């Protein structure tokens, strides 16, 4: 489903191609170029995001991710190329595109001197919500961000994680179908990061299409079913997570065991089962698992 794919042709990986099966596409980017002065930030990028997918857009600093997202969001005009969102051309029908899209920007877009609830009311108003509909969505935003207990606090008094959660809720008040997150976990602790992941999983489960942009591989691995890697403004690879991680030549597996007591025990059991082992090593839990076990998963919002 991408312009240039690493060893994958449309229709493989169990995913029907648009041409063969008419699969719906939420975002179609064709030959996108973004130039700043003499510098080409995005260089002929083509990719498609299937409706209902949780799509990871992965790339190092300066790869062109935010420039691409700003073009999708209609806040930046591409130098060349076309983008369709929900079938609408962003250049020809920007209002339709903005109705369908919820874009959570990389930088916080909040009013520091207003309270949490006031921010949600202002953003809801900007999305055209009024009266009972606005009140309902503000309550939804407080619930989503778990900031109900802090509704009257001014934003400048909130922690980084609380601001990030509010930034997400404020961007999604108009109940968009297609959600684009640009590095939403920047500067947050593991508790808030987990909560943000839970928010995104819940929104995806409700049937929304998600584009998740980051340079943290483990975040894409934890959340996404498809992934595109961009570098220097170009698409490097795009495929299902399963196909990208499945390397036919790989002979390394990571297995979690609950009963085995030691490497020697495991080696003996494998030998007894006739499994020939080249090397075997035991790994501890990840530092994050230890951190969360020791400090708990509850959000750390100052009361």
Ligand X SMILES: Nc1ncnc2c1ncn2[C@@H]1O[C@H](COP(=O)(O)OP(=O)(O)OP(=O)(O)O)[C@@H](O)[C@H]1O
State both tokens at 192: 């808030």
Residue number, nearest CB to Mg ion? 66
Alpha carbons within 13 angstroms on the beta-carbon side of residue 174 total: 23
Is position 121 an interface residue for ligand X (rule: CB under 6 A)? no
Candidates 48, 66, 185, 240: give the one binding Mg ion (CB under 5 A): 66
Q: Which does 244 bind (CB under 5 to 8 A by kind): Mg ion, ligand X, none?
A: none
User: Scanning residues 190 to 219, which ones bind ligand X (CB under 6 A)?
Assistant: 215
For ligand X, what does the binding mask look like between residues 22 and 61, x meaning CB under 6 A?
Answer: --------------x--x-x-----------------x-x
3 state SS of 230: strand
Candidates 32, 45, 49, 63: give the one binding ligand X (CB under 6 A): 63
Count of residues touching ligand X (by CB under 6 A): 13
Contacts of 10 (CB under 8 A, 6+ apart): 1, 17, 18, 19, 20
Q: Which range touches ligand X (CB under 6 A), out of 65-73, 115-123, 258-266, 270-278? A: 65-73
One DSSP character per residue, 4-51 reads S-SS--TT-TT---HHHH---EEEEEEEEEEEETTEEEEEEEEEEEET
271 to 24, 260, 264, 266: CA distances (angstroms): 50, 14, 10, 8
| Helix and strand totals (H; E) in the chain | 11, 10
CA-based radius of gyration for the chain: 22
Is position 66 an interface residue for ligand X (rule: CB under 6 A)? yes
Residue 149 DSSP code? G
Q: Report residue 49: phi and psi, to 5°.
A: -110, 110
Q: Which range touches Mg ion (CB under 5 A), out of 57-65, 140-148, 185-193, 221-229? A: 57-65
Which one, 66 or 171, has the nearer CB to Mg ion? 66
User: Scanning residues 98 to 117, which ones bind ligand X (CB under 6 A)?
Assistant: 106
Q: Which does 36 bind (CB under 5 to 8 A by kind): Mg ion, ligand X, none?
A: ligand X
Residues that bind ligand X (CB under 6 A): 36, 39, 41, 59, 61-67, 106, 215
Residues that bind Mg ion (CB under 5 A): 65-66, 106
């Amino acid at each position: 489903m991408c312009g240039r794919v690493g060893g994958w042709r449309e229709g493989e990986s169990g995913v029907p191609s648009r041409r063969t099966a008419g699969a719906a596409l939420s975002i179609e980017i064709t030959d996108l170029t973004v130039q700043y002065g003499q510098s080409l930030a995005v260089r002929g990028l083509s990719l498609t995001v299937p409706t209902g997918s949780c799509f990871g857009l992965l790339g190092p600093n300066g790869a062109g991710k935010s420039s691409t997202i700003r073009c999708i969001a209609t806040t930046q005009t591409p130098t060349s190329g076309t983008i369709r969102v929900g079938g609408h051309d962003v250049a020809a029908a920007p209002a339709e595109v903005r109705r369908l899209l919820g874009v959570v920007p990389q930088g916080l877009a909040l009013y520091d001197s207003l309270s949490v609830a006031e921010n949600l009311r202002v953003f809801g108003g900007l999305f055209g919500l009024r009266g009972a509909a606005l009140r309902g969505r503000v309550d939804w935003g407080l619930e989503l961000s778990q900031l109900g207990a802090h509704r009257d606090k001014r934003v400048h008094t909130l922690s980084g994680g609380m601001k990030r959660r509010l930034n997400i809720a404020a961007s999604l008040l108009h109940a968009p179908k297609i959600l684009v997150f640009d590095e939403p976990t920047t500067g947050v602790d593991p508790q808030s990061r987990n909560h943000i992941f839970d928010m995104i999983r819940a929104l995806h489960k409700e049937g929304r299409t998600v584009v998740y942009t980051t340079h943290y591989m483990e975040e894409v691995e934890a959340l996404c079913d498809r992934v595109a890697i961009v570098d220097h403004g170009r698409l490097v690879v795009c495929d299902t997570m399963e196909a990208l991680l499945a390397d036919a030549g790989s002979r390394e597996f990571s297995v979690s065991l609950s009963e085995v007591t030691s490497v020697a025990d495991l080696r003996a059991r494998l030998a007894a089962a006739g499994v020939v082992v080249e090397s075997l090593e035991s790994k501890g839990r990840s530092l994050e698992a230890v951190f969360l076990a020791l400090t708990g998963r509850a959000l750390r919002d100052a009361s």
